[in-house]
Structure 1
Amino acid sequence: MTAQLSGAGPVPVAPPPDGGPRKRRARPDRSVWEGPPSPAGQLGKGVVLTLLVLAVLFPMWSVVVTSLASRETISETGGMVVVPREFDPSAYVTIFNGGQITQAVWISTLVTVLGTAVSLVLTVLAAYGLSRPGSVAHRGLLFFFLLTFLIFPGLVPSYLVVTGLGLKDSIWSLILPSAISVFNLVVIRAFFMNVPGELVDSARIDGAGEFRILWTIMLPLSKAVVAVVGLFYAVGYWNAYFNSVLYIDDNDKFPIQRVLQTYILGGQSPAVSGASFNIPGVTAYPPTLAVKMAVVVVTVLPAVIVYPFVQRHFTKGVITGAVKG
């Protein structure tokens, strides 16, 4: 601080004594990480995200191009093809012309559709029952389900139970052992518990039973959660192959993932039927590598097609069902 004297320059003034009013620096309204990123930060994020997208798309692109490549193109490149040169669909015609791969696709589709339906029904019913405080053996059953997070019975007891029930070499051996996921059950139960109790009480006053309340009130409000859980179940059933290794011995009942594991990791040649084709220009058996990549495409394609239709429910369903409760 300074003071102005007549005929003299500014004279410095001593600062205020301790305890006097001091000027404080204004604190920012938001934290540094909550503010808008700098241009350098935006550029860095764009570069990182671009590299991540390329790291995911490049292998998929190479698999698709190789599955559609001709024998000459694969021979020239010596393996996986990156730049497409010729369009040769003989690999897809081969795997869908009958044989084990066609049967495996049908088995996987049946297991996925039937297993998802069974799992959703059982999970929703169990979650609704465990979300009602006055239900029979509420705490004991909830503890029983949550105990599976910590204790797994093991492969040998599971195998003995499945074989003892006569499910060996049956598609039910691919569905029932993993019919209920406790994580999905907890998510749906948490959402049901967050539904206002007034809605349930008003329905009971109108004479609605538990199944009517579940069908007309709970399920319409939980479309997002059920859609996400259904996606989890469907992808899990489609991608599962370990249960088929344990319980399926018949080659005609192998799911597509078991066939893919046998061909890719086992190094076996695909067992397909049909050496001649009914389309112009396709008269010889396609390259083995192209057939293997076609099986990979067929294995991945259903999840890629279904996911965009459920994506809009994904974040809402998981957050709504998991944050509270």
Structure 2
Amino acid sequence: MKTVMLHRKTKGDLIFDAINYSLLTAGMLLILYPLYFVVIASISDPNRIYSGEVWLYPLGVTFDGYQRIFNDGTIWIGYGNSLLYAAVGTAVSVALTLLAAYPLSRKDFVGRNIFMWFFMFTMFFNGGLIPTYLLIKDLGMINTIWALVIPGAAGVFNIIIVRTFYQSAIPDEMREAAFIDGCSNTKFFLMIVLPLSKPIIAVMVLFHVVGFWNGFFDALIYLNEESKYPLQLVLRNILVQNQVSSNMMIDVDSYAAKLKVTELIKYGVIIVASLPLLILYPFLQRYFVKGVMIGSIKG
């Protein structure tokens, strides 16, 4: 019979565990409490929020803020625009990333190190905001979806991650065997490489969807019409500039009441804007972890 040796924790181990759990618990609370406070504040009486009474649980529960949000067309237009920008931008970015990363992963691609050097150069140096704006303007992309999609379509960091995946997951022997059977480069990429790339494609899709959904700065710079604003820019105008749609305040008279209702709407809009990603992330977390691991395996 096998003897099972049980390791008994020493006093030092117990002290280490206590400190470790304490620090982790404190870190967890620092992250979770702001999210929890936004949730309870979004359904609390704004007068109780202003007086500082709301901090542990909701007081004077009301869903007035959510009713005003969902009755406002600006929020729904922002939702639709964000979905459109995320879908189109992700499709373009993932396609360009895959098409750029695969040749760079091939050892027989002449000049791949030179191209990689040029790509790496753009990670440290760029033209700046004003030259970029003038370029976008000269290309006629101001106030269009392409101003949000084209400039950052191919991220160098993502190209490096996908290139590393190809180098580790697509062996040269597979390509050589396919070429012996008469397979062309294009057919090999479409019929063999892409089906084997489902994990990294999922990672790239998630990275870009999150990036486009949370992005607002490019929209702030390049979009002029409110009907084209993404949801995050609508949220930014409410949070930073208190620009709440008049439809949300149609029944509010005094300035003080408007300020209080605005605060209630702010918390509600944060929840509404974050809800899609908060729902999806627990199911897709393993792909984010896999993306990090892929980038740390090689090269």
Structure 2 residue aligned with 1:124: 98
Tell me, yes or no, if structure 1 residue 235 matches structure 2 residue 203. Answer: no
C-alpha separation in 1, matches of 2:119 and 2:207: 19
CA contact (8 A) 2:48 2:54 kept: no
Q: How has the CA–CA distance of structure 1 residues 105 and 81 changed in structure 2, closer, same or farther, with 3 Å as cutoff?
A: farther
Structure 1 residue aligned with 2:32: 57
C-alpha separation in 1, matches of 2:191 and 2:18: 49
Q: How has the CA–CA distance of structure 1 residues 91 and 292 changed in structure 2, closer, same or farther, with 3 Å as cutoff?
A: same
1:210-269 deviation digits (Å, cap 9, x = unpaired): 333223333333333332222221111111111112111111211222222222122333
TM-score normalised according to structure 2 size: 0.84
Is the radius of gyration larger for structure 1 or structure 2? Answer: 1
Structure 2 residue aligned with 1:304: 278
Kindly state the Cα deviation for residue 170 of structure 1 after the two structures are TM-superposed.
0.8
Percent of paired sites with the same residue: 36
Tell me, yes or no, if structure 1 residue 148 matches structure 2 residue 153. Answer: no
Computed over aligned residues only, the root mean square deviation of the Cα atoms, in angstroms, reads 2.6
Which stretch shows the higher mean deviation, 78-87 or 104-113?
A: 78-87
C-alpha separation in 1, matches of 2:77 and 2:249: 14
1:90-141 deviation digits (Å, cap 9, x = unpaired): 3223222233222112111211121111111110111012212333653332
CA contact (8 A) 2:72 2:245 kept: no
Q: How has the CA–CA distance of structure 1 residues 156 and 316 changed in structure 2, closer, same or farther, with 3 Å as cutoff?
A: same
Q: Give the counterpart letter for 2:31 in structure 1.
A: V
Which stretch shows the higher mean deviation, 290-299 or 207-216?
A: 207-216
Tell me, yes or no, if structure 1 residue 255 matches structure 2 residue 205. Answer: no
CA contact (8 A) 2:242 2:262 kept: no
| Structure with the higher helix share, 1 or 2 | 2
CA contact (8 A) 2:87 2:209 kept: yes
C-alpha separation in 1, matches of 2:247 and 2:93: 33
Structure 1 residue aligned with 2:109: 135
CA contact (8 A) 2:44 2:54 kept: no
Structure 2 residue aligned with 1:210: 185
Which stretch shows the higher mean deviation, 267-276 or 112-121?
A: 267-276
C-alpha separation in 2, matches of 1:299 and 1:253: 16
SS in 2 for 1:149: helix
Name stretches of at least 5 consecutive residues in structure 2 with no aligned partner. Answer: 1-9, 252-256
Structure 2 residue aligned with 1:89: 63
Structure 1 residue aligned with 2:41: 66
The correspondence for 1:102, drawn from 67, 71, 76, is 76
CA contact (8 A) 1:69 1:85 kept: yes
Kindly state the Cα deviation for residue 152 of structure 1 after the two structures are TM-superposed.
1.1
1:282-315 deviation digits (Å, cap 9, x = unpaired): xx99922111111111222222222222211233
Q: Give the counterpart letter for 1:231 in structure 2.
A: L
CA contact (8 A) 1:270 1:291 kept: no
CA contact (8 A) 1:264 1:292 kept: yes
Structure 1 residue aligned with 2:18: 43
Q: How has the CA–CA distance of structure 1 residues 91 and 210 changed in structure 2, closer, same or farther, with 3 Å as cutoff?
A: farther
TM-score normalised according to structure 1 size: 0.78
Kindly state the Cα deviation for residue 275 of structure 1 after the two structures are TM-superposed.
5.1
Structure 2 residue aligned with 1:21: none
C-alpha separation in 1, matches of 2:246 and 2:186: 48
C-alpha separation in 1, matches of 2:56 and 2:273: 20
Structure 2 residue aligned with 1:318: 292
Q: Give the counterpart letter for 1:229 in structure 2.
A: M
The correspondence for 2:175, drawn from 190, 197, 200, is 200
Structure 2 residue aligned with 1:23: none
CA contact (8 A) 2:86 2:212 kept: yes
Q: How has the CA–CA distance of structure 1 residues 309 and 203 changed in structure 2, closer, same or farther, with 3 Å as cutoff?
A: farther
Q: How many residue pairs align between the two structures?
A: 282
Greater relative CO (CA pairs within 8 A, separation 6+): 2
C-alpha separation in 2, matches of 1:316 and 1:260: 31
